[in-house]
């Protein structure tokens, strides 16, 4: 079943084309990682899916429902940002349950959802603390927990690990992959880090200058890049390319 479908998504800022006719179908339970250099349009695409940016042309469907003009809170998505965006005066539990409180859900339902998410993320013993008492990794878990409590149709992640140090990023990559496996949820994840893309994704979407260069499983892109850009962007160390002129050919 298709969980998320993008049809000819285009975003223009005056004469600048940030996105150029993006087509993408995401199946239920897929972990899609969108990767590309700075300014390629990956964060803009995520904000358009979330409803934080409007499309210039094109359609967005979530579980078959056209949400192109639907308000963000009614799309069935939850977004985790690069900055944790936690309320400093609230406890961990209050931060995680904030979205449900704004939706006027019963207290018992909120408490149960918060505890369930906290257990999944292994922060159940931190629920009474405030953000300043937590490590960077714990704060990011709280932000993810706030998304989990809403039971969205689609999770959106906008470079959520970029503020963490290298060791913690490695740990959180494993935890996010484990979380995806446990929830079986549809996730769209934006990063500029090829390692994150290669190790976490069901499929990778490579963006460049607002256009999709290639979509496929990590090893498929690594072994069979569609063009020089994909070949040069994926992998560490990166490929070097040299322009040459054939001077002579021998041996047939």
The DSSP bridge partners found for residue 154 are 77, 186
- Count H helices and E strands in the chain, helices first: 9, 10
Instruction: Give the contacts of 55 (CB within 8 A, at least 6 positions apart).
Output: 9, 10, 11, 48, 68
| Other Cβ atoms within 10 Å of 159 Cβ, number | 19
Is the pLDDT at 1 greater than 70? The verdict is no
> Are the CB atoms for 79 and 46 separated by under 8 Å?
yes
**Cα(66)–Cα(71) distance, integer angstroms:** 12
> Are the CB atoms for 134 and 143 separated by under 8 Å?
no
The alpha carbons of the chain give a radius of gyration, in whole angstroms, of: 20
When pLDDT is cut at 50, 70 and 90, the band that residue 226 belongs to is very high
Question: Packing angle between helix 136-148 and helix 166-183, nearest 10 degrees?
Answer: 20
Which helix (H) or strand (E) segment is 3 a member of? strand 2-13
Q: How confident is the model at residue 252, as a pLDDT? A: 61
Assigned fold of 2-76+152-233:
Rossmann fold (3.40.50)
When pLDDT is cut at 50, 70 and 90, the band that residue 83 belongs to is confident
When pLDDT is cut at 50, 70 and 90, the band that residue 112 belongs to is very high
Instruction: Give the contacts of 53 (CB within 8 A, at least 6 positions apart).
Output: 11, 44, 47
Q: Domain residues of the chain, as ranges?
A: 2-76+152-233
Sign of CA dihedral 209, 213, 216, 217: negative
Encoding tokens for residue 191? 């990063």
Is the pLDDT at 239 greater than 90? The verdict is no
CA 33 to chain centre: 6
Q: How confident is the model at residue 146, as a pLDDT? A: 92
Encoding tokens for residue 38? 């700075």
**Cα(152)–Cα(67) distance, integer angstroms:** 14
């Amino acid at each position: 079943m298709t969980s998320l479908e993008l049809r000819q998504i285009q975003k223009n800022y005056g004469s600048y084309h940030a996105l150029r006719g993006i087509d993408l179908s995401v199946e239920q339970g897929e972990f899609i990682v969108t990767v590309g250099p700075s300014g390629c349009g990956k964060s803009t695409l995520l904000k358009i899916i979330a409803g934080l940016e409007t499309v210039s042309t094109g359609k967005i469907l979530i579980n078959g429902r056209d949400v192109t003009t639907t308000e963000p809170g009614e799309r069935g998505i939850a977004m985790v940002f690069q900055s944790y965006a936690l309320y400093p005066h609230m406890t961990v539990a209050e931060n995680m349950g904030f979205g449900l409180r704004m939706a006027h859900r019963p207290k018992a339902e909120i408490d149960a959802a918060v505890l369930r998410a906290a257990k999944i993320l292994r922060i159940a013993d931190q629920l009474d603390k405030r953000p300043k008492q937590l490590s960077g990794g714990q704060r990011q878990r709280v932000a993810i927990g706030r998304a989990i409590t809403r039971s969205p149709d689609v999770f959106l992640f906008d470079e959520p690990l970029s503020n963490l140090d290298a060791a913690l990023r490695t740990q959180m990559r494993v935890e996010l992959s484990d979380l995806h496996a446990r929830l079986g949820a549809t996730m769209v994840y934006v990063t500029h880090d090829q390692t994150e893309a290669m190790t976490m994704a069901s499929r990778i979407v490579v963006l460049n200058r607002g256009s999709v260069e290639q979509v496929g499983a990590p090893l498929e892109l690594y072994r069979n890049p569609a063009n020089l850009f994909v070949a040069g962007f994926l992998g560490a160390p990166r490929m070097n390319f040299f322009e040459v002129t054939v001077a002579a050919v021998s041996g047939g």
